[in-house]
Amino acid sequence: MDLEVMNGLLRPKSVAVIGASNTEGKIGYSVIRSLIEGGYEGPVYPINLKSDEIQGFKAYKSVLEVPGEIDAAAIVVPARFVPQVTKECGEKGVKGLIIIASGFSEMGHSDLEKEVTDIARTYGMRVLGPNIVGILSNSDKCNASFAPCLPLPGKAALVSQSGALLIAMAASTYTRRVGFDRMISIGNMSDVNFADVVSWLDQDEATGCISLYIEGMKDGRRFMENVRKANKPVIALKSGSSKHGAAAAASHTGSLAGSGKVYDAAFEQAGVVQARDLTNLFDRTLAMSLQPPMQGENLLIVTNGGGVGVLATDSAERYGIPLRFAPEDVQAELRKYMPEFGSARNPVDLTGMAGRDWYQVSVQYSFAHDWVDGLVVLYCETAMTDPQDIAEGIKAAVDGSGVTDKPIAVSFVGGERSEAAMRWLVEHGIPAYNEPDTAVNAIAALREYARDQDTAQSFVRNEDVDEAAARAVIAKVRSEGDRDLTEWEARAVFKAYGLPVARMRLAATEDEAATAAAELDGPVVLKILSPDILHKSDAGGVKVNIQGEAAVRVAFREIIANAKSYRPDADIRGVVVQDLAKKGTEVILGSVNDATFGPMVMFGLGGIFVEILKDVTFRVAPISAKNALRMLSEISSAPILEGARGEAPSDRKALAEALSRYSQMIYDLRDEVKESDANPVLVHEEGEGVCVVDTRIILKKR
Ligand code: ADP
Ligand code: MG
């Protein structure tokens, strides 16, 4: 990132407005108005072909006539004129273009958009947009946008793909009392995208927390990398589920990879905290811009009312930080500040008798205690107490504790006076909410952030793999024309990556099948071998648990006959004869090549219901075995692998190892493999390993 150019774009010391206007109602009017009303202190250069003066500023016919330097040019002329003015900006030495104008790729005019970006690139300019509202910053007193006002000042930064939403959010910061320093509209992202803005905001002193409204993105891996590198929390509201992969998917995994799950995975891996809706985005942003991450699992709740305490307890469990009882010394100390009928366990119920003093001492003591990792303080307005008094007590307690590395959130339930007290708290750096649930959810965001930072897993390659062998198999298949791999071929690829595949023999004839079964020496499975039949059972092409030569011969004949009547034109090459695997839990490993994040690995419980239950989880490949282990516990049916109802627990360690190797395989071969799966993989009891009995690889079409 060229910092000087990006600074010119996002913190311009001078601004030209190309298409500035004196006519109220025009965007070229609003942008100048916003600059004036925002208090912008740098030079403003309106560009207008007809007027010499725009809203009190001297106007110019072209940026080329402007005497001074121009950092950023906001462009509001019709789309067809944008290439020409872009060229002039380049000649002038403008650093960044804020292309507010619309009528580009969002309306199908991608060529025009590309033309503009290409011109900008040749001059070394960066482009924000097109199709945006502009940029807003309180610390720079810069509202270079057609949003009517700067947001309520604060430490958050909002980056929004939707312009209308950005304007609405800027306005609603005043009613929601959530402060932002910057708001950046990025629209079509023809050049500057989420990844760029995240790394720029990370070095920006005015920004404490980065909030994103995302509809879709390109270059997901670079975004993940930049978020991982950032030292500030990133929170995202992702909307829209695209249909990529879903419709014409040839494999099970493709149809399961709704973009929701893919983004969930990528965000968690990168450490992006998510918001479920706009309100949640504001609420979580408030906490994340004011409070540090929560480094451990011990949340303490202090309250004056049992009801809100129970509500918050439920919420804590819902948001993944279930309450534990406070240790004995904490309880003993806190019992001093409550009547007999109070409770010091957790939630700590000071009872309705609690006034400022009890709140203050108990909050100060517990916030400073080593056991406590985070605090939620609840208060129900009472006749005896003044909410403002309580608020000041809480603030004094936080200051008095000297603690700055743990989060606190507050919820007051009451009327006008409580509202006012909460506003005061927020102004003094303590997030406060109407609902106990919201306060707990906000603390949970800070916990999620810390947890994701901890577990950002670094992948270490398994070196004992034979990529060349895998590629040779694929090259051979390609040389035979446009087809996918047979099970026999796919198995060879999986084997090259060290996956534990079942023993297998090829048999083109009945006699060969009999010999193969004799060699394997035990019960076997016979399966049809044909590049044209990928779902073998559907074709009557799988016979399991076949014993003895006579049975093998019968099975062979039946399979071939079934396949021929299923697809008379199929290229049938015989059967594979496979060891019958020991009993085990059937799971599926799958992969897709996502348009945004590239190769993704999927895990779920296998069998015929996988597509109905959709109980699967994804990761951006490759992943370590440790990360794979976390996938295993993420699905709803996780208890089945852990040994539910007296069943022995499954060998999850071996399964995680297989997942990691598989993720490496699909990552290495991402230029060749479109989708793949291992379905099923049989997971045996702990210590007994796993066995891959069916594999499928679908190639990218050339
Ligand atoms: P397909 O998915 O193409 O229909 P599979 O090879 O997955 O064919 O076989 C269908 C089912 O047969 C599997 O889901 C599994 O339950 C069982 N099966 C297949 N191969 C074996 C094997 N080697 N050992 C035990 N069971 C097997
Ligand atoms: Mg199968």
The Å distance, Cα 665 to ligand 2 centre, comes to 19
Task: State the chain's mean pLDDT as an integer.
Answer: 94
3-class DSSP assignment, residue 180:
strand
Question: Taking residues 238-261, what's their average pLDDT?
Answer: 58
Judged by its nearest atom, the ligand closest to the C-alpha of residue 538 is: 1
| Residue 682 CB partners (closer than 8 Å, separation 6+) | 581, 582, 583, 584, 585, 586, 690, 691, 693
DSSP string for 566-629: H-TT-----EEEEEPPPP-EEEEEEEEEETTTEEEEEEEE-STTHHHH--EEEEESP--HHHHH
- What pLDDT score was predicted for residue 216? 85
pLDDT, tens digit (0-9, with 9 covering 90-100), for 44-81:
999 999 999 999 999 999 999 999 999 999 999 999 99
Our answer on whether the CB atom of 425 is closer than 6 Å to any ligand 1 atom is no
- What pLDDT score was predicted for residue 241? 58
pLDDT, tens digit (0-9, with 9 covering 90-100), for 149-196:
999 999 999 999 999 999 999 999 999 999 999 999 999 999 999 999
- What pLDDT score was predicted for residue 120? 98
* Least confidently predicted of 15-29, 261-275, 399-413: 261-275
pLDDT, tens digit (0-9, with 9 covering 90-100), for 211-239:
999 988 888 999 999 999 999 999 999 98
- What pLDDT score was predicted for residue 455? 59
- What pLDDT score was predicted for residue 606? 77
Atom of ligand 1 nearest to the CA of 581: 24
- Please, which pLDDT band fits residue 245 given cuts at 50, 70 and 90? very low
The model carries a pTM of 0.90
The Å distance, Cα 587 to ligand 1 centre, comes to 12
Q: Is the pLDDT of residue 386 over 50?
A: yes
Distances from the Cα of 373 to the Cα of 56, 398, 441, 504, angstroms? 56, 14, 15, 54
- Please, which pLDDT band fits residue 327 given cuts at 50, 70 and 90? very high
Pocket test for ligand 1, best of 251, 488, 542 (most atoms within 8 A of CB): 542
Q: Is the pLDDT of residue 1 over 70?
A: no
Question: Taking residues 434-445, what's their average pLDDT?
Answer: 98
- What pLDDT score was predicted for residue 255? 61
- What pLDDT score was predicted for residue 404? 97
- What pLDDT score was predicted for residue 67? 96
Our answer on whether the CB atom of 491 is closer than 6 Å to any ligand 1 atom is no
Closest CA to 34 of 156, 157, 159, 185: 185
Our answer on whether the CB atom of 566 is closer than 6 Å to any ligand 1 atom is no
Listed residues: CB within 5 A of ion ligand 2? 679, 694
The Å distance, Cα 609 to ligand 2 centre, comes to 12
Atom of ligand 1 nearest to the CA of 537: 4
Question: Taking residues 313-322, what's their average pLDDT?
Answer: 97
Our answer on whether the CB atom of 504 is closer than 6 Å to any ligand 1 atom is no
As given in the structure block, the two tokens for residue 317 are: 């469990």
Our answer on whether the CB atom of 577 is closer than 6 Å to any ligand 1 atom is no
Pocket test for ligand 1, best of 693, 697, 698 (most atoms within 8 A of CB): 693
Q: Is the pLDDT of residue 260 over 60?
A: yes
The Å distance, Cα 684 to ligand 1 centre, comes to 15
Q: Is the pLDDT of residue 612 over 80?
A: no
Our answer on whether the CB atom of 535 is closer than 6 Å to any ligand 1 atom is yes
pLDDT, tens digit (0-9, with 9 covering 90-100), for 505-518:
999 999 999 999 99
Question: Taking residues 393-407, what's their average pLDDT?
Answer: 98
Atom of ligand 1 nearest to the CA of 580: 24
pLDDT, tens digit (0-9, with 9 covering 90-100), for 72-107:
999 999 999 999 999 999 999 999 999 999 999 999
* Least confidently predicted of 291-300, 455-464, 586-595, 674-683: 455-464
Our answer on whether the CB atom of 680 is closer than 6 Å to any ligand 1 atom is yes
Distances from the Cα of 162 to the Cα of 184, 259, 340, 448, 502, angstroms? 10, 19, 55, 26, 51
Q: Is the N-terminal amide bond of 322 cis, ω within 30° of 0?
A: no
Question: Taking residues 564-569, what's their average pLDDT?
Answer: 96
Judged by its nearest atom, the ligand closest to the C-alpha of residue 677 is: 2
Our answer on whether the CB atom of 559 is closer than 6 Å to any ligand 1 atom is no
Q: Is the pLDDT of residue 273 over 60?
A: yes
The DSSP call for residue 637 is T
- Please, which pLDDT band fits residue 249 given cuts at 50, 70 and 90? very low
Q: Is the pLDDT of residue 248 over 60?
A: no
